[in-house]
Amino acid sequence: MAEEKVKDEAMQIIGMFQILPRLVVFDLDYTLWPFYCECRSKREMPSLYPHAKGVMSALKEKGIQMAIASRSPTSDIANTFIDKLNIKSLFVTKEIFSSWTHKTEHFQKIHTRTGVPFTDMLFFDDEDRNIKSVSKMGVTSILVGDGVTLGALRQGLTEFTQNHNSIEKNKQVWRNKYSGKAASSETDKD
């Protein structure tokens, strides 16, 4: 599928949702590209998964910010590949460093740099341990099998909307519960 066709389909998918994330965060290895950076040379010309560029182009066109969260031990190679693929300008921040924290440290830094709350983020990664730890922070997190695809985008936006609606419902329950108690307490005093 050509990049432009993928972008058009991604635009249609994004258009189906009223609630969108403010920031979409991508892992690199086996999420945006089909290899580990540390197994490659800077001299090589990397390639993205077939849908990755189109999905990212659509997100950019829709005004959704993007970031990178990678535990690659070879950030120099990762950054070289990002430059060679001409995608550096797509990202508001790139957190590429080796870590044992399953990316929670990456997301703390992304939050600090962007000011975007965790609940307004959508994350794509190929490792379940990263998905689990980052989800606990409030980030909608999607496990990808063969990189970022149109199907993964649709799943991510669907789960983001469900999570957002659940949060809003809980806020409303909390407001009703506590504003109701406060109101009845005032009435009891009269």
Tell me if residue 188 is catalytic. no
- Residue 140 and residue 19 in contact, taking contact as beta carbons nearer than 8 Å: no
Question: Residue 48: how many CA atoms within 13 Å on its side-chain side?
Answer: 23
- Tell me how far CA of residue 187 lies from CA of 75, 103, 173, 174, 184, in angstroms: 62, 49, 21, 20, 5
The single residue listed with the structure tokens 């909608």 is 140
- Tell me how far CA of residue 37 lies from CA of 27, 50, 96, 119, 141, in angstroms: 12, 18, 11, 29, 22
- DSSP H or E stretch at residue 91: strand 91-96
Name the active-site residue from 27, 120, 125, 126: 27
Question: Residue 3: how many CA atoms within 13 Å on its side-chain side?
Answer: 8
Tell me if residue 190 is catalytic. no
Minimal CA–CA distance to 90: which of 36, 37, 32, 172?
32
φ/ψ of 131, rounded to 5, equals -60, -45
Question: Which residues are part of the catalytic machinery?
Answer: 27, 29
